[in-house]
Amino acid sequence: MAVLFALLLTAVVVSTGMGYISITPGEVVRIVGARLTDTGALVAGMDETFPVVVMDVRLPRILTAVVVGGGLALSGCVFQGILLNPLADPYTLGVSAGAAFGAAVALLLNISAMGTFSIPVFAFAGAVLTLVLVLYLSASGGGFSSNNLILSGIIVASILSAAISFLKYVADEQVAVIIFWLMGSFGSRTWGDVGFTLVFVTFGLIVFLFFSRDLNLLALGDRSAASLGVNTGRVTLVILVTASLVTAVCVSVSGIIGFVGLLVPHMMRSLTGPDNRRLLPACLLAGGILMLAADTVTRAVLPHEIPIGVLTALIGGPFFCYIFRRKQMGRASV
């Protein structure tokens, strides 16, 4: 945990200095320190544009990427544990499709009543309504089964994907804006976005850690967990709703960014083991590092910025195929 935290802090400082205007890590630390301590002497003699670039342009975007990456990885870890499916990720229940539909509606109707928060609010509302519908479809007398939840999520996501395609068809000039949002981006993020996502991700982490022991027992199966004193129905509902809300908040701010919630839990599980008391914080930190690295590449390394969802899919897809194939080869050798 200490190594991951140190890597994350280092990545934040180095990434903040990268871009069209190059700023050294030492200057970044001095600027942040001057803002936190209100000590102007720390930035004496420095270019006047540096504090503006760091505090008002780059740092909100970077911290939003870190929090969103951590939230998606955290939710992916929980979904894989609660659904007992190694291919589960934050979008398994169709939450991302609901957020995408809500954002597409806001973009199509050019709704700006809430300013810059209009699109995130509509995306969040679409994700929450999708979650409610999935839970309603999958509910049965015995509670929530993983198969019913996954099937319900696939059905709802397919319907919403068709609805999004229809919205793009009728969007005319605004279709490019909708497509770009669906690809994911952290451009023009503000400190409000940082605070908004940080509150929900922190709340999710607290809930998940509180139920980490129950989550460990649920991996043994519902019957085994119930025999050990776990209220499987209540715990499953609370964890699923919390993970879906964290995903909804992250998606509403960043757009659709895939593979982070799928890859990071597998990578960290090989380092920390399956105990969620260690795995969950590790996924939070590693997800932030991975998302920040991807955003830094799109923002400061490539000659032209591309949507971060495209980059994570291009990198994450082949990497996941490698992991999956290696596991298959390991099973075959046994």
Task: Note the helical H segments in the chain.
Answer: 2-17, 25-37, 49-52, 59-83, 95-108, 118-138, 146-170, 175-183, 191-210, 212-218, 222-227, 232-254, 260-272, 276-296, 308-333
Rounded CA-CA distance 115/209 in Å is 35
Q: What is the pLDDT of residue 312?
A: 86
Query: Quick one: tokens of 253?
Result: 């701010």
Q: What is the pLDDT of residue 331?
A: 62
Q: What is the pLDDT of residue 301?
A: 87
Query: Quick one: tokens of 94?
Result: 């169709």
**Angle between helical axes of 308-333 and 276-296 (0-180°, round to 10):** 130
Task: Output the pTM of the full model.
Answer: 0.90
Q: What is the pLDDT of residue 69?
A: 95
User: Which fold is adopted by the domain 65-333?
Assistant: ABC transporter involved in vitamin B12 uptake, BtuC (1.10.3470)
Given a contact cutoff of 8 angstroms between Cβ atoms, the answer to whether 54 and 191 are in contact is no
Rounded CA-CA distance 32/50 in Å is 11
pLDDT by residue for the chain (334 residues), tens digit each? 899 999 999 999 999 999 888 999 999 999 999 988 888 888 888 888 999 999 999 999 999 999 999 999 999 999 988 888 887 887 778 888 898 899 888 888 877 666 666 788 888 888 889 988 988 888 776 566 778 888 888 899 999 999 999 998 888 777 888 888 888 889 888 999 999 999 999 999 999 999 999 999 988 887 888 888 888 888 888 998 899 889 888 988 888 888 888 889 988 998 998 899 999 999 999 999 999 999 999 988 888 888 888 888 888 778 778 777 776 776 665 5
